[in-house]
Chain A
């Protein structure tokens, strides 16, 4: 690896890191804005035009608040908790391919933190490490509510990781690779995995919600039951780190959902764009511009999913704990195993859209069951 490559790679990694943080920062603003718009109000609009400086104001407030550590708390673990949470959240974006590659002279550098052939396994490993942040923080607080929140976080993440992993297997069977870049490259153009794996997508999306501890699965920080959940005792920037880690996780899971199911940086008509640009601007510049367009498309998809996360948050109420567990263990695990089996048969007999069979059967079953359900007696309406 020569110096030029090292410098370009270094700049690239710094930019990706900065973009991750910036997007997470503005997600806090966007979340409040979306919440406001959905609740027919404006959201923050005082700090700068449209409240655009709100994240800075929030961060300033967070830094200047009292950094309190309870006297009975385990001090080092108490500090370690938020650090772990934000560290693992930031680590997982390293393997996501944000674009094709940059050509500089005769170098070809992929727009990605690091290309490893077990990318998706790495993500899973880091995500399951992320629960330690909540667990350690909740336990070190020496507070019953924090501990309960931490236990909830741990058990929820462990339960949903199974469904998470199983829903991926169908995709891995179809692509034959664990590298996210390879998975994205196989969805060239408009051959997105969504069309082959609709069920897997829904399971993966729901599990991603649960892994991010987002509503409707935000039981670890359920205010009505647990005061503040695992971060009850936290204040100042330590609390800020926990909240920030959630938004980074949201960004990363949006990126992974877009990469796995929505074609990553692929978009319909990309070959035509590549030919036109390389034809008119030369091979290197045209290639770099094509990469840029692909990256922008990927970010568009990511922003849509971040919006979707928020949209769902301000629509659905929180699940009850037994509903959460029933959904995870009794619904998602059997369904994703079924999905794996059906996809396997599809691969064996060369039927590409085999997974739709499950969806069609489920829709038919649902329609039959609602048709056979006893009709509720019509209440006479008195005026």
Chain B
């Protein structure tokens, strides 16, 4: 079976004098390496230059608000159930009178915590959420932590800021039966 047409037959034939002198092939090799020397480098110097990770990258979690700035999460717990790493925990609370501009529905998450050491960034919470509340940002990574008490992210870190809204449109991504979340866009 032939996979490519680039394979070369190896032979034990006697080398000619030109080949025995090595010099022509050495010159050829030197030409190749000097071409690389002046060529464009493929390395991306990471902390200074960050490459685009694609529209389907799963990064930092975000709890979305709706257009009027009310939190969408109703603390139904489906994300916590879906989470294979059991990283999500929450405490539900009932919306009081006068809090209608803060929470969209009558029930909300008073505490919503994700343990970033446990999270495996699978995106199942995003798929499970019936209210389009939790998303994994494609444009931001979870920052490095050095202490264990920095690991559990609460609502301060997770809830979307109205000044810095997260919008994801995935025109490039095609939905497939196995990966429906590829086409989900955050609004």
Contacts and interface: CB of A to CB of B under 8 A. Distances in A.
A45 B168 CA distance: 36
B49 to A, nearest CB: 11
A40 interface: yes
A374 B13 contact: yes
Contacts of A369: 16-18
B19 interface: yes
A324 to B, nearest CB: 12
B30 A40 contact: no
B8 to A, nearest CB: 9
Contacts of B17: 362, 365-366, 369-370
A316 B26 contact: yes
B13 A312 contact: no
Interface string B1-37: 0100100010101101111010100100110111011
A311 B30 contact: yes
B18 A367 contact: yes
A41 interface: yes
B33 A314 contact: yes
Contacts of B33: 38, 311, 314-315
Interface string A14-54: 00000000000000000000100111111001000000000
A41 B13 contact: no
Contacts of A373: 14, 16
Contact of A370 (B16, B38, B42, B43): B16
Contacts, number: 65
Interface in A328-375: 362, 365-367, 369-370, 372-374
A42 B5 contact: no
A383 interface: yes
A269 interface: no
Contacts of B38: 37
Contact of B5 (A39, A202, A382): A382
B143 interface: no
A262 to B, nearest CB: 18
A34 B26 contact: no
Contacts of A365: 17
B19 A370 contact: yes
B118 to A, nearest CB: 33
Contacts of A372: 16
B39 interface: yes
Contacts of B11: 376
Contact of A34 (B37, B40, B45): B37
A383 B4 CA distance: 8
A362 B21 contact: yes
Nearest to A362: B21
B42 A41 contact: yes
A379 interface: yes
A71 interface: no
Contacts of B5: 381-383
Interface in A96-123: none
B19 A40 contact: no
A367 B16 CA distance: 9
Nearest to A308: B30
B37 A37 contact: yes
A366 B43 contact: no
B51 interface: no
Interface string B143-184: 000000000000000000000000000000000000000000
A36 B17 CA distance: 34
27 contacts: A37-B36, A37-B37, A37-B38, A37-B41, A38-B33, A38-B34, A38-B36, A40-B39, A40-B41, A40-B43, A41-B42, A45-B45, A311-B30, A311-B33, A311-B34, A315-B26, A315-B30, A316-B26, A362-B17, A366-B16, A366-B18, A369-B16, A369-B18, A370-B19, A373-B14, A382-B5, A383-B5
Interface of B: 2, 5, 9, 11, 13-14, 16-19, 21, 23, 26, 29-30, 32-34, 36-43, 45
Interface of A: 34, 37-42, 45, 202, 311-312, 314-316, 362, 365-367, 369-370, 372-374, 376, 379, 381-383
* 8 cross-chain pairs, A with B, having the tightest CB-CB distances, nearest first: A366-B18, A369-B17, A370-B16, A369-B16, A373-B16, A315-B33, A41-B43, A370-B18
